[in-house]
Copies of this chain bind each other. A is one copy, B any other.
Amino acid sequence: MTSVYQTHDHHHCISEALQEARTLCQRSGARLTHLREKVLELVWQSHRPIGAYDILAELAKQEERVAQPPTVYRALDFLMEQGLIHRLSSLNAFIGCPHPGKKHNGCFLICQNCRVTQEIEHQAINQSIASCATDQGFKITDAAIELTGLCSNCQEAQE
């Protein structure tokens, strides 16, 4: 089995993500400013989660003005509010959402070797979690499901 992201045109991922972000923001009246779009682009520079300070470092390379942490965190907060990116709390890092625009609880498969991270929508997981919450009389507002391990690629490589 090979990874979904082993061979693909990643420029396509980026441009699609940016285009969809523009569309969604226009629709909702949110202002996708230059800075915010730039940060989104940097988050999408790979399928690996990226830390706020890594984004800051990239911004320093690519932009005129040298940004400070609050600038980056505010852009990230905006992008999270718009559902364009997710924060992975087990890594203190951020990753682009491949299907923004609809509410969802992603389940993340994080490879500890290559760090490539895949967001999955899995019905059975969502259902079992919902029923677990119901059993306990618990009302979920946010679900963080972060699975760390080895992706299929990296398993093969280790054989």
Q: A residues engaging B (CB < 8 A)?
A: 1, 89-90, 107, 109, 111-112, 118, 120, 122, 124-125, 127-129, 131-133, 135-152, 155
Contacts and interface: CB of A to CB of B under 8 A. Distances in A.
A146 B148 contact: no
Contacts of A129: 107, 125, 145, 147
Nearest to A145: B145
7 A-B pairs with the lowest CB-CB distances in the bound complex, closest first: A137-B152, A124-B128, A1-B137, A140-B149, A89-B90, A142-B148, A141-B149
Contacts of A127: 124, 128
Taken together, the copies of this chain in the complex come to 2
A146 B109 contact: no
Contacts of A125: 125, 128-129, 132
A111 to B, nearest CB: 8
Contacts of A107: 129, 132
Contacts of A137: 1, 151-152, 155
A78 to B, nearest CB: 20
Nearest to A4: B136
A118 to B, nearest CB: 7
Given A89-B90, A128-B125, A118 B147 contact: no
Contacts of A109: 132-133, 136, 138
Contacts of A120: 132, 136
